[in-house]
Chains A and B, each alone.
Chain A
Amino acid sequence: MDEFQSGEETAFVVDEVSTIIKESVETAIGGNTYQHSRVNQWTTNVVEQCLSQLSKLGKPFKYIVTCIIMQKNGAGLQTASSCFWDNSTDGSCTVRWENKSMYCIVSVFGLAI
């Protein structure tokens, strides 16, 4: 009888989530140049793509995915997050991506049910 369960299925795995985010961003905005008229659609695509891949993992988690796209213009941008949760089961992962014309920052927060 297996008594030791490593808890793989119920822990937030940062590496796995990080890979999902990177693929989603590449797919959604991979070779594009910042365009004001399309950025709305891009942020939506990135978060939806991430969320659908995450829910496919089938883990007992609630997810929050946020995406920021900023044009490269010399402006300064600073973001911070603070979380009040259960440290043993919940986690987050943030991926910073950029190309020649824009920055994209995606954060995923996973909270165990």
Chain B
Amino acid sequence: MEEYHPGDEVAFNPDEASNCVKECIEGIIGGVDYSQNKVNQWTATIVEHSLTQLVKQGKPFKYIVNCAVMQKSGAGLHTASSCYWDTTTDGSCTVRWENRTMYCVVSVFAVAVTL
């Protein structure tokens, strides 16, 4: 009888989440230039796809996915986040992506659910 269960199944894996998000971003805005009338749709699609992929992993987590897309025009942008949670089980990961005309910053926060 196995008594020792390593915490793999219930710890947040930021690398896996990060890869998942990068693929989503590439798939949606990979080769395109910033367009004001499409950006609304892009951010919504990026968060939805990322969330769907994360939920498919079937882990006992609640997720928050946040995406910001900014046109490259010389403006300064700074983001910060602070979390009040259980540091042993919860975690986050942030992916920064850019192309010639825009920056995209996606953050994933995962909070463990006690079943």
Instruction: Using CB atoms and an 8 Å cutoff, list the residues of chain A in contact with chain B.
Output: 34, 36, 39-40, 42-44, 46-48, 50-51, 54-55, 61-86, 90, 92, 107, 109, 111, 113
Contact = CB atoms under 8 A, between A and B. Distances in A.
Given A62-B111, A66-B107, A78-B69, 12 more contacts: A39-B76, A44-B80, A44-B82, A69-B77, A72-B75, A73-B76, A76-B70, A76-B71, A79-B69, A84-B64, A85-B63, A85-B64
22 contacts: A39-B76, A40-B78, A42-B78, A50-B82, A62-B111, A63-B84, A64-B81, A66-B79, A70-B75, A70-B78, A73-B73, A76-B39, A77-B69, A77-B77, A78-B43, A79-B43, A80-B46, A81-B66, A82-B48, A83-B62, A84-B62, A113-B114
Interface of B: 34, 36, 39-40, 42-44, 46-48, 50-51, 54-55, 61-86, 90, 92, 107, 109, 111, 114
Contacts, number: 146
Contacts of B82: 44, 47-48, 50-51, 64-65
A48 B6 CA distance: 33
Contacts of A50: 82
Contact of B76 (A36, A48, A82): A36
Contacts of B83: 51, 62-65
A88 to B, nearest CB: 13
A33 to B, nearest CB: 12
Contact of B80 (A47, A70, A109): A47
Given A63-B85, A65-B82, A78-B43, A73 B74 contact: yes
A84 B55 contact: yes
